[in-house]
Amino acid sequence: MGSKPFFQKGFGGETEGAQPSGNACIRVCNPHYNQKGTKKTMSDFNVIVIGAGPGGYVCALKAAALGLKTAVVEERDVGGTCLNRGCIPTKALLHASEVYAEAKGAEAYGVTVGSCAFDFTKMHEKKSETVAKLRGGIESLFKSAGVTLLRGKGVVEGSGKVRAGETLYTADSIVIATGSTPARPPIPGLSQEGVITSDELLEGEATFDESLVIIGGGVIGVEFASVYARLGCRVTVIEALPRLLARMDKDLSQNLQMLLKKKGVKVLTDAMVKEIVRDGDGALTVRYETKGKEGAAQGSRVLVAIGRRPNAAGLFAPGVEVETNRGAIVVNDRFETSLPGVYAIGDVSSKIQLAHVASAQGTVVAEEIAGVAASVDLSTVPSCIYVSPEIGSVGLIEEEAAEQGYDVKTAKVMMYANGKTLIVGGERGFMKLVFDGATRRILGAHLMCERATDMISEFSAAIVNGLTVEQMASVIRPHPTFNEAVSELFEAAARL
Ligand code: FAD
Ligand code: NAI
């Protein structure tokens, strides 16, 4: 999605409680806005957003902040996949399992924990408590921003017309933000009991599996493998491609694969699943083929995590056509679909299915509808994976940079000499930088270390702002921190 042409650096946008910005002044003096600064309309709403996930709710809040009369239609809980059965619940379970793993290793730091056990039901309860708090937060934000929440399924009846439940509403613009659902490949035996997706695992009953087979060694696969392996489950990951996280930097994949194996996870790559059958003893057997040889992995349940499909089922009334590509709604770089006045954002239309991408697109599309310049640069997207140690990656990997004709240079530092890493007993980690030897600009960064998911934003800021290796090396970073390794990385790069 190349929205760069209409991104303008230096545009402030509006934040709650801020002094009137340039845009607020424009609204007050604008004949299209009433005295309260709300855009005039003959429709029920200026904007109706369908779906209240991170794309939809951020879009609605931004639209309301920009003076648009806004409604959101949601058929389930607000917060979407991310809050209810995605980002937040997985990270809550990852954290709970990490607390358990740390408690087991506490002796090494002179802390006696006594007997150490876990209660999976309580871990799920704690997760649900966090989710409920955040959900309540979104509903309050809607109320305070004046966003109308319409409960029910949203159906586009044509340009400017949305049916929410039984009621037909009109809107000047419609934003589709209906997200995605887990993909289910046509594997024999997939529909039987015990074969689940992340939806059932996170929203269903808290059932701890002594053994789990995960089909798919992508992001969901490796995060769940981490949770379950930490709790002592026998985990097998079956991945069709030659390595885990196949689209990421090779060193990240290799290091992760090695660390997962060290924790007892069986990782099978280049493996194609043939069928899933139930054995006489009640367990499930996944039969696969790898490099011409047949094999089998057994588990009490099977988690299918092979990607997610855009969710547009039943979204358009009969006779309403919109262009799609393999189920994804096709949009231009202003997020317009083939139906006039109808936009699409987030997982339902985006090549990158991440919450922060959906939210950033939500902000930009609201600005587009309000007629103000985009405040977010959508060209640089960080990806984070919450395994141990964490993974943070942004920009180009070496191979991509070479394909694009850059004078590719790379620098790498290992984390074993970093003081903070030694203090916390961090696992084998590294930071890798990809930059252009000709301009010295940073092209990509790939971190696998403690707090990589927080530290990656420093590299995103450098890429978005076209900063050089030398500019980044000139910054003092505090001691002792994991971040000191960033200085070391840029110093190493500056020598190249
Ligand atoms: P969604 O969040 O899917 O929201 C769509 C909303 O639309 C839903 O609430 C749905 O009920 C509603 N809806 C659908 N159709 C209709 C209709 N016709 N009428 C009314 N409402 C409708 N991303 C990250 O960035 N970081 C992570 O750590 C992360 N972890 C993840 C972990 C898991 C297990 C999963 C599955 C995903 C994870 N993701 C993560 C991806 C992230 O959840 C999605 O990219 C994000 O939720 C997409 O946001 P969205 O607003 O496009 O759609
Ligand atoms: P994914 O695309 O990350 O990984 C799917 C994996 O399954 C791929 O490696 C693919 O090669 C493999 N695969 C496909 N078919 C297969 C088969 N038949 N047998 C074996 N392997 C097969 O998708 P995943 O993990 O389902 O995640 C979906 C989306 O959710 C991702 O796009 C990601 O963006 C998002 N997500 C993000 C997280 C984060 O940001 N931390 C965490 C979890 C999910």
Question: Residue 33: its pLDDT value, please?
Answer: 76
What is residue 16's predicted lDDT score, i.e. its pLDDT? 35
Which residues are bridge partners to 394 per DSSP?
A: 445
52 CB within 6 A, ligand 2: no
Give me the residue label for tokens 């002094």. 19
CATH topology of domain 195-305: FAD/NAD(P)-binding domain (3.50.50)
Query: What's the rounded Cα separation, in Å, for the pair 446 and 324?
Result: 33
Question: ∠ at Cα 186 (182, 191), nearest 5°?
Answer: 70
Expressed in angstroms and rounded, the spacing between residue 252 Cα and the centre of ligand 2 is: 16
**Token pair for 75:** 């058929």
Quote the CATH superfamily of domain 383-494. Answer: FAD/NAD-linked reductase, C-terminal dimerisation domain (3.30.390.30)
pLDDT in tens, 161-177: 999 999 999 999 999 99
Ligand 1 atom 11 nearest Cα: 76
Ligand 2 pocket, residue 59 CB under 6 Å: no
* 306 Cβ inside 6 Å of ligand 1: no
Domain boundaries, the chain: 25-182+307-378, 195-305, 383-494
Which residues neighbour 300 within 8 Å (Cβ) at sequence distance 6 or greater?
194, 209, 210, 211, 212, 282, 283, 284
Given CATH 3.90.850.10, say whether it is the number of domain 25-182+307-378.
Answer: no
By most ligand atoms within 8 Å of CB, the mutation choice from 190, 245, 306, 390 for ligand 2 is 306
Closest CA to 264 of 211, 216, 219: 211
Residue whose C-alpha is closest to residue 265's, from 232, 288, 294: 232
The pLDDT of residue 37 is 73
Tell me how far CA of residue 35 lies from CA of 65, 146, 270, in angstroms. 15, 16, 63
| Ligand having the closest approach to the CA of 350 | 1
Give yes or no for residue 220 CB within 6 A of ligand 2.
yes
Question: 438, 349, 493: which is closest to 1 by C-alpha?
Answer: 349
Distance CA 310, CA 331 (A): 13
pTM score, two decimals? 0.94
Q: Which residues of the chain have pLDDT under 70?
A: 1-29, 35-36
DSSP-derived letter for residue 40 is P
Bridge partners of 180, per DSSP, are 310
Among this protein's residues, is 479 annotated catalytic? Answer: yes
d(CA 179, CA 241): 26
Q: Nearest-CA neighbor of 185 among 96, 274, 125, 61?
A: 274
Write down the catalytic residue from 95, 356, 446, 479. Answer: 479
The best mutation among 50, 82, 345 to test binding of ligand 1, ranked by most ligand atoms within 8 Å of the C-beta, falls on 82
Ligand 1 contact, 311 CB (< 6 A):
yes
User: Is ligand 1 within 6 A of the CB of residue 353?
Assistant: yes
Which of 78, 79, 51, 61 lies closest to 175 in space, CA to CA? 51
Common-topology check for domains 195-305 and 383-494: no
Tokens of residue 471, six digits:
């500019």
Q: In 219-354, which ranges are continuous DSSP H helix?
A: 219-230, 250-262
Query: Which SS3 state, helix, strand or coil, does residue 198 take?
Result: helix
